[in-house]
Structure 1
C-alpha cells in the first residue's frame, strides 16, 4: 500500500508540474484569452481529485499523521486556487491582477508540499524503514 501511495504522490507531483507548464503556455499564447487557459483549469480539477485520493490512501496505509495532513493540505490549497481565481476575476483590473499573483504563490506552495509528500512516501515505502524515521 505504501508503494502505491508513493506512485500516487509522484503522479500528483507530475500533475502539479504540468499545471505550471499549462499556465505558462496559456499566458504566452500569441493571443491569450479565456480559451488558452482551459487545459490549465481542467487539470486543476484533476489535481484536487488526485490530492484527495492521496490523502485517503495515506490514511489507509497508516502513515504518520503529518504525511496525511500534508496530503490534505495540498487538496485544500488546490481548492483555494479556484477561490483565488474567482475573486481575482470578480475584482477585475489592477486589484484582480494583484490577487491573481496569489494564485502563482499558492501554486508554489502546492508544489513544495507535493515534493515533500513524494519524498516522505518514498522513504516509507523502502523496506525496513520505521515510520518515525521517515517523518
Structure 2
C-alpha cells in the first residue's frame, strides 16, 4: 500500500508536467481554435484530480499524518484556483471581441505561476510519500 501511495504521488507530478506540455501544444496550435487546449483541459480537469483523489485516499488508508494527507490533496485545491484565475481573468477582460485587457492579462498570467506552485506542492508530497514509505510500519499506523 505504501508503494502504491508513492507511485500515485509521482503520477500526479508526471500529470502536472504533462499539463505544461499540453499547454504548449495549445499555445503553438495554428490556427488557434476552441479545441486548441482540449488536451490541457482534459488532463487538468479529469486526470490530475482523479490521481490526486486516489493518492489522498491511499494516504488516508495508510493513516499517514494529517499534514501529509493535506499536502497530498493540495494540488486539487490549486486546480480549483487555476479555474478561478481563468474565470476572473476573462471577466476582467470582458471583451466580446475576444481581446484581453492588460488587467486581464496580468490575472491570466497567474495561471502559469500557479501551475508551477502546483508542481512544487506535488513534488513535496511525492518526496514525503517516499520518506514515509521508508519508515517502519509501526511509525506509519500506530496501534
TM-score (norm 1): 0.88
C-alpha deviation, 1:127, in angstroms = 5.6
Which residue of 1 is the match for residue 36 of structure 2? 36
Structure 1: where are the runs of 5+ without partners?
none
Q: Which ranges of 4 or more aligned residues in structure 1 deviate by more than 3 Å?
A: 127-131
C-alpha deviation, 1:78, in angstroms = 1.1
**3-state DSSP of counterpart to 1:30:** coil
Larger Rg: 2
* 1:74-133 CA distance string (max 9 Å, x none): 1111111111112222222122211111111110110000001111111211264855xx
Which residue of 2 is the match for residue 124 of structure 1? 132
Which residue of 2 is the match for residue 20 of structure 1? 20
TM-score (norm 2): 0.83
* Count of matched residue pairs: 131
Do 1:70 and 1:117's aligned partners in 2 also have CA atoms closer than 8 Å?
A: yes
- In the alignment, the residues of structure 2 paired with residue 21 and residue 63 of structure 1 have an alpha-carbon distance, to the nearest angstrom, of 32
1:5 is the counterpart of 2:5: yes
Do 1:48 and 1:79's aligned partners in 2 also have CA atoms closer than 8 Å?
A: no
